[in-house]
Structure 1
Amino acid sequence: MRIRWDAFIATIQERGEYPTPQEAERASRVVLALLGAHLVGEVRAELADRLPESLALILLSPLQAHEPLSPERFIRATAAWVEGATEKTATWDVSAVLSVVADVAGEDLLNRTLLQLPPGYDLLFGRPQSS
């Protein structure tokens, strides 16, 4: 079931402690564009079906990663896309967005998503897996 735009952004704004919905939206767009470049097939489509429509389109953008980014490089890439960001603020952005994505996805879809990503993304989603 697709989450409403206002509920999604409000939750990210709250988790990320952003002063405005626009900042939560900016973080969402950047993080979902990068995440979408790492996902393929059914998992990507199912995740998009649960996001607000405009953000689903960003996740489904034809951008494809040349190689999977480690969690550390994913954070660096996020920082590079956000004007004035540091690795610390990018980590905050990634955690705020991906923890809400994890909630929206549910356990089964999240586990299938993590299978497509390099080790360590479970922490970015706020769902540490036991090894």
Structure 2
Amino acid sequence: MGEDRTPEDITRGRCLCGAVRFEYAGRPRWVIHCHCESCRRQCSAPFTTFVGVKDGRWRWTGAEPAVYGSSTGVERLFCGRCGTPMAYRADHWPGEIHLYAAAHEDPDALTPQAHVYHAEKLAWLHLADDLPRHDGPAA
């Protein structure tokens, strides 16, 4: 991240205990809700919301997160102290990290743009928004 950034350009987040922290400059590339089974299981939630940030615009500002290789080419990053999910990285999305929206200091400032893996959505979850729904990843 460039030193020419002002504090207003920086978005920050942290885990529950505050050990793992991140920040990034500028606006995220995208914000999406993911309904895939592996994301649901990893977060123990009906779906999760990710924020895509290009590499080179973000950094860890606290402790480095622990890493779990959940499948070939996929890493799930979390706080090794409190267990908070922090990020997702995958070989098939090179050059970016997917940070969890709920870990942001101000998640209300984020505006989701779509639902992905909607075909895996839990049947009892009823969505009331008009966001686009993709059965797989967004194109």
Say whether the fold is shared (TM-score over 0.5). Answer: no
The structure that is helix-richer by fraction is 1
Normalised to the residue count of structure 2, the TM-score between the two structures is 0.26
Structure showing greater radius of gyration is 2
The structure that is strand-richer by fraction is 2
Normalised to the residue count of structure 1, the TM-score between the two structures is 0.27
